[in-house]
Structure 1
Amino acid sequence: MSPHKNIDGKAALAMVVLCFVWSMQQIGLKATAHDASPILQVAIRSGIAAVLVGLFMLVRQEKIMPTQLPWRAGLGAGALFSIEYLSLGEGLHLTSSAHGVVFLYTGPLFAAVGLHFRLTSERMVPFQWMGVVFAFLGIAIAFLSPADWHAAKNNDALLGDGLCLLAGASWGATTVLVRSSGLAKASASQTTFYQLVVAFVLLLAASHFLGQWSLKPTPMLLANLVFQTVLVSFISLLAWFALLRRYLASRLGAFSFMTPLFGVALGAWLLDEPVSAGFLIGAFFVVAGIIFVNCHELLARRLSLVKLRKWRSC
């Protein structure tokens, strides 16, 4: 029997809060990109957050480097985490934060597909596969809509969308690695620490190599770094991996559809980003796919109740 369980009220509330926090990170990175590149910002926040996690572990008297350290899996998770934010950072230079958040949050879909083939407890049913088809149909619509093609010819938005989609795939691969390797037995803080340290080193090197090294310490940038460091890279990552250790990963996305919705709405409101009709249609299909994949049990129960009521009324 699987030690992981379906989501309950506490997990659902935690996911709603996490979704809102995560939807804001693209907004913050995009809004302050002229003060420091997103890649440099993520490198800085990862380094500071690694120190915070290390102090947190010391206070709890938890071993930072356990005897049986799954160092290969830790390096892999850190590398995938770095690829995720390297792709997202470069993508946000070319596309809007709304596009970035929708394509990034295909991550749970990639994770669900990957875990289907790795863990028996995470096998998907036909209803969920239909959701996967819906989601990737939405991705195709968002990519290929005429308005987006026109924008792509002018500012490489299509490439930016592709990089953000790669970031989503990297996030999904990280989840699969965490759940199917020795990291599944590591604590949430240990897993987070591995990711942050490796990401700090790799992303700092990437920002230097790409010439994205300049930083203007404006009040907005400093405020965003505090938000990104404390909430996004410290508290939210600890919470996410803690949830992964208790609940079925494919079920944790039950409310993850709220993140792209938050992201699109906040991007249009706070950054005055235009949103094309084609992209909205594609985003609708992506969100529908996420709901199908992660809420299939609830939907199946509702459909069964409707059928039962119709049968009784006959």
Structure 2
Amino acid sequence: MPPTKTHLDRFAIGLMVLFCTIWGVQQVAVKVANAGISPVWQAGLRSIGATALVFAWALARRVRLFKTDGTLAAGVLAGLLFAAEFALLFIGLQYTSASRGVIFLYTAPFFLALGAVWLLPHEPMRRAQWAGMALAFGGVLVLFGENLIGPAGEAWKGDLLIFIAAIFWAATTLTVKATALVRVSAEKTLLYQLAVSAVVLPPLSLALGEPGMFAPTPAVWASLVFQIVAVASASYVGWFWLVRQYPATRLASFSFLTPVMGVLAGGVLLGEPLTPAVFAALGLVGLGIWIANRPTPRNRV
């Protein structure tokens, strides 16, 4: 099913910048919450809380969640992919650093673009989009690439797991775009993923022997609430609404903005150093996004 729009308008661009900022701040929230909640258990709690919140929101808006619409199989698949992505990400971070992990995680837009060639023929990739995405990824490498230099030890295990997580991230978006899920509400699409991950992640945490919640300070609780309300509920509902309305490949190019926003948030909220590389990366990512999303003459309005 072709998207309603063929290119991103100002409203979509504004929302994507807002969401990428929220997802960047999430990196800080996860760091704070990790001081008191195990990673996979934290992801499970986030899914449980967000499931309840999005379900209540959908009921208040009278969204038809239980109508037979042929989305059950695709919804469960999307939920399993969603759960696998976060499980692999959090497990991988036990072996490798967050900065190395970012590089491998943000290969996801390229997998999305490659999958779109076969699964989303109505969203053709132009050479400018490939070039823009490559430039934006170059900005991520400027920011974190030096962490790939030097002895890696066992970091390759985490790198590999996060690289696979990136494939699952792309596969989740492709599942939404290429199946009946693209015709249902953003709330229902998200609830499939949240509910399945809420069931899968807590038992996985127990199987991994995580201590669970071991130091629930006010800061840890605040970080978890932010993830539930702002990230997994509000921003994800908005993201899946955008995926229904706009080309996924154009939206994906904005994801490169998230790690840069995360570093900026770390500087503002945690006092982490902001080096010239941060601003160089922001410039490269911004230029890459502009090139990838610049409308062709026939799409100009």
Same fold? TM cut 0.5: yes
Describe the shift of the 1:246–1:176 C-alpha distance in structure 2 as closer, same or farther (beyond 3 A): same
- Asked if the contact 1:101/1:260 (under 8 Å) is kept, the reply is yes
**Corresponding residue SS for 1:257:** helix
- Asked if the contact 1:254/1:295 (under 8 Å) is kept, the reply is no
Q: How far apart are the structure 2 equivalents of 1:117 and 1:225?
A: 38
- Asked if the contact 2:140/2:259 (under 8 Å) is kept, the reply is no
Q: How far apart are the structure 1 equivalents of 2:289 and 2:112?
A: 11
Q: How far apart are the structure 1 equivalents of 2:145 and 2:26?
A: 26
- Asked if the contact 1:101/1:264 (under 8 Å) is kept, the reply is no
- Asked if the contact 2:186/2:237 (under 8 Å) is kept, the reply is yes
Give structure 1 stretches of 5+ with no counterpart: 302-314
Over the matched positions of the two proteins, sequence identity in percent amounts to: 38
* Partner of residue 124, structure 2: 123
- Asked if the contact 2:47/2:194 (under 8 Å) is kept, the reply is yes
Matches within 5 A, 1:1-314: 2-5=2-5, 6-130=7-131, 148-153=148-153, 156-215=154-213, 216-267=215-266, 292=288, 295-296=291-292, 298=294
Q: How far apart are the structure 1 equivalents of 2:102 and 2:189?
A: 24
Q: How far apart are the structure 2 equivalents of 1:160 and 1:218?
A: 29
Describe the shift of the 1:181–1:290 C-alpha distance in structure 2 as closer, same or farther (beyond 3 A): farther
* Partner of residue 308, structure 1: none
Point out the structure with max Rg over C-alpha: 1
Deviation at 1:298, TM superposition (A): 1.8
TM-score by length of 2: 0.83
Q: How far apart are the structure 2 equivalents of 1:253 and 1:26?
A: 18
- Asked if the contact 1:102/1:263 (under 8 Å) is kept, the reply is no
Any idea what the Cα deviations from partners look like across 1:58-111, whole Å, max 9, x if unmatched?
Answer: 111222222124111111100111111111212333334344444333323321
- Asked if the contact 2:128/2:291 (under 8 Å) is kept, the reply is no
Q: How far apart are the structure 2 equivalents of 1:186 and 1:299?
A: 28
Deviation at 1:300, TM superposition (A): 7.0
Q: How many residues align?
A: 294
TM-score by length of 1: 0.80
Give 1:242's aligned amino acid: W
Give 2:33's aligned amino acid: T
Give 2:169's aligned amino acid: W
Give structure 2 stretches of 5+ with no counterpart: none
**Corresponding residue SS for 2:150:** helix
Any idea what the Cα deviations from partners look like across 1:130-188, whole Å, max 9, x if unmatched?
Answer: 4566678899999996x5353522xx333333333322221111110100011111110
Describe the shift of the 1:106–1:206 C-alpha distance in structure 2 as closer, same or farther (beyond 3 A): same
Q: How far apart are the structure 2 equivalents of 1:29 and 1:212?
A: 16
Query: How large is the RMSD of aligned CA atoms in angstroms?
Result: 3.3
Q: How far apart are the structure 1 equivalents of 2:270 and 2:243?
A: 33
